[in-house]
Amino acid sequence: MPYDVRPVTGKEALARILKLEGVEFLSCFPETPLIDACAAEEIRPVVARSERVVVNIADGFSRAAGGGRIGVCAMQHDAGIENAFAGVAQAYADSIPVLVIPGYGERRRRDVPPVFDAVANFQHVTKWATQINFADRVPELMRRAFTALRTGRPGPVLLELPSDVAAEEMGDSALLYSVVPVRRTGPDPADVWRAVGMLLDAERPLVLAGRGVHQAEAEHELSRLAELLRVPVMTTMNGKGALPEDHPLALGMSGLSTTAMVDHFLRRADTLFSVGSSLTRWWMAAPIPDGCRVVQSTVDDRDLGKDYAIEHAVLGDAKLVLEEMVAEAERQLAGGRRPAGGDPTGEIAAVKAAWRAQWLPLLTSDEVPLNPYRVVWELMHAIDRRASIVTHDSGHPRDQMAPFFEPLTPLGYMGWGHSTQLGYSLGLAIGMKLARPDWSVVNVMGDAAFGMTGMDLETAVRAGVGTLTIVLNNSAMTGYENYLPIATERYGSKYLSGDYAKVAEGLGAYSETVTRPEEIRPAILRALEATRSGHPALLEMIAREETRLSVYW
């Protein structure tokens, strides 16, 4: 229903619309006129330590919330929005809907150097960016913003709020606004019919599931299609967990590091059905082999054939596409057709068992300092994987963790990384915990990553957001002697130092230092218990440098 009030200022109108749109918190730093206006509407400000983390928190919320709920963040003009660029760029790279509302000086100062023009500078890392240039345009521009956030390919939207517009009254006309629904586009039935037929006819079919499956909340439909057609499923890093990784048809994820199952089945595939992925050719994705027929399903036509030649396409929202493909598969199977490739589950199990046996000595290693693979193994078995979200940070923690941690529920593992910003996981975890307060949320990062954003652990303390941060402290940037051989030999440039448990204690978090493998799981359980009362925790794992990765490409 429309929301009808009498004269309000631009900032008040914006805050009331955010309230109507279901926004419960605003991540922010340090001040804008919008913060107090939102507080007046009982939208809670979560004040972080840096603008980059402000965006990361909103990003994490959008990833985990579902149901069209959107993370919203605000920061001051000039230096504030300049500092936020990295966070927005990461959200854009991963196609995450985030509403970014920076301040601005007075409108009359536009185009006067050195005033920073966020609209011009953020054009290439947002889905849409504009300035609210009159208070009475707030409803119109907010409607357009939420339409962009909830329709088509997701991505950040930026609305710049000048100080004089924030204070300007809208006049005597009523503020009329209706909540913007999630709108989805469905596939052409003929495209669905052909795609299902190609999978049924394939001798070695394979499904690749991307982030779009999570965004559309289409995990159940993906599982049903795979089971009907007996097709193995691999995921992108951002799509990890789209099929529970204990499922007999699950191959795990592909990235810089990957599983033996992905390698085995992708190299042999004759037909690949990609859903919810841009199929970008880059160093963090396993390459599609020559000769493999590709069927691509995406919500964004700009992805079609971008990097790989495709034989067929099914345009549309991943959930609607998969629903229709399931229905079509049921019709064709009822008519007597059978998958030409047979049942691959025995082959999957055999490859997985051999791969797991190869890596089990590291996953269960008793080495001191700790082997990071042992930390991953203990974490996976300590938490409730059906009520937890775990995420990596950039670098070796990602490459060691992502292939081996097996999520059992949608978004149980939050993969990310089309941009690879160190320290990103901390703000992401805070936002995810705000979205799912009843779930445990864990981020695993290296000591270099903690150095980028670690002070924002105090943000979680102050906000009462009970996340668990695990720092793999090996006092080094692992493998960087390969890039800095002279600098490392002469000046020790790859080496770091710090007592991060002591830092966490000083910031008010629960903290422990763990040095022995038998201490890992008990420490994780104690830390998780602390988080249940809204108290963030940090575990510093004193680890060895481990350069071995499950890499095949």
Give 284-332 pLDDT, tens digit per residue: 888 999 999 999 999 999 999 999 999 999 999 999 999 999 999 999 9
Query: What is the chain's mean pLDDT, rounded?
Result: 96
CB 13 within 8 A of CB 138: yes
Each residue's pLDDT tens digit, 332-365: 999 999 999 999 999 999 999 999 999 999 999 9
DSSP 8-state code for residue 274: E
Beta strands in 266-407 (DSSP E): 271-275, 293-298, 312-315, 388-392
- Count the Cβ atoms, other than its own, within 10 Å of residue 252: 25
> DSSP 3-state assignment of 389?
strand
What predicted TM-score, i.e. pTM, was given to this entire model?
A: 0.96
Local confidence band at 432 (pLDDT 50, 70, 90 cut-offs): very high
**Quick one: angle between helices 260-268 and 345-363, nearest 10?**
150
Which pairing describes strands 413-414 and 510-514: parallel, antiparallel, or unpaired? unpaired
pLDDT higher than threshold 70 for residue 9: yes
Q: For residue 526, what are its two tokens?
A: 């104690």
CA angle 538, 52, 155 (to 5 degrees): 110
- Cα 191 to chain center, whole Å? 30
Higher-pLDDT residue of 412, 286: 412
CA angle 432, 437, 438 (to 5 degrees): 125
Q: How far apart (Å, rounded) are the C-alpha atoms in residues 35 and 318?
A: 36
Each residue's pLDDT tens digit, 205-248: 999 999 999 999 999 999 999 999 999 999 999 999 999 999 99
CB 88 within 8 A of CB 99: no
Q: In b/e form, how buried is each residue of 35-53, taking b as 16+ CB within 10 angstroms?
A: bebbeebebebbebbbbbb
Q: In b/e form, how buried is each residue of 297-312, taking b as 16+ CB within 10 angstroms?
A: bbbeeebeeeebebeb
CB 160 within 8 A of CB 104: yes
